[in-house]
Amino acid sequence: MDLARWWLGAAGFRRDGDPADFYAALEATAKRDAKAVTASVRTDRWLPATWDWERLRLEHAVAWEAQIRRLVGTLIARSLRTGRTYQADLAHYRVKAMALAHDGETYLVVGFDHLADPRVLAVILASVPGVDRDSWMVEPGNVMGIEPEPGEIVWSTILPPAVAARLLAAFPVGDDAE
């Protein structure tokens, strides 16, 4: 992301007559300072401050988490419809989801390759609505025919029917469905 463009756009649209209009305030400050200073006018106060950078960082984190929630929900919904495994490759890791019906229950398996940050794992597992974090268990392998690949960590849980229905409704079949 071009941070200079982000900051320039952060001032928003011109709002003539509004006391909160950034551009009017900038113009008034520059004119006032120009009368007091003969060499140049300083507008450093209008540059991003620590608070602005922190706000941008947090906005990126919220957007990333929303993207992960959509991705995980889509993978699970697709697997609920077909019973097959679906995966997505992200920046440095891979996420897989598979829903298996067994004895009247839906067994949900989520696998990760190359996932080193436990915070990312927490966000991904929390992306399944209606499943408590204590319901997830690390899958030792060779259970229900699931064999983790080298370097893969697999977590599983029982997916309540209401949660499965909610995921299917929230993530309808799209163009990418098979």
Read off the tokens for 72. 């995980």
The helix/strand/coil state of 3 is helix
CA distance 41 to 32: 9
Phi-psi region of 144 (alpha: psi -120 to 50; beta: other; left: phi over 0): left
Read off the tokens for 118. 């436990």
Q: Which of 141, 66, 128 is nearest to 99 (CA)?
A: 128
Q: Which residues of the chain have pLDDT under 70?
A: 1-12, 36-43, 143-145, 174-178
Q: Which of 111, 101, 112, 122 is nearest to 164 (CA)?
A: 101
CA distance 39 to 97: 64
Read off the tokens for 94. 């891979």
CA distance 130 to 38: 64
The whole-number pLDDT of residue 103 equals: 85
CA distance 111 to 146: 10
What's 47's DSSP letter? S
Q: Give bridge partners of residue 99 from the DSSP assignment.
A: 108
The whole-number pLDDT of residue 27 equals: 78
Phi-psi region of 21 (alpha: psi -120 to 50; beta: other; left: phi over 0): beta
CA distance 144 to 98: 11
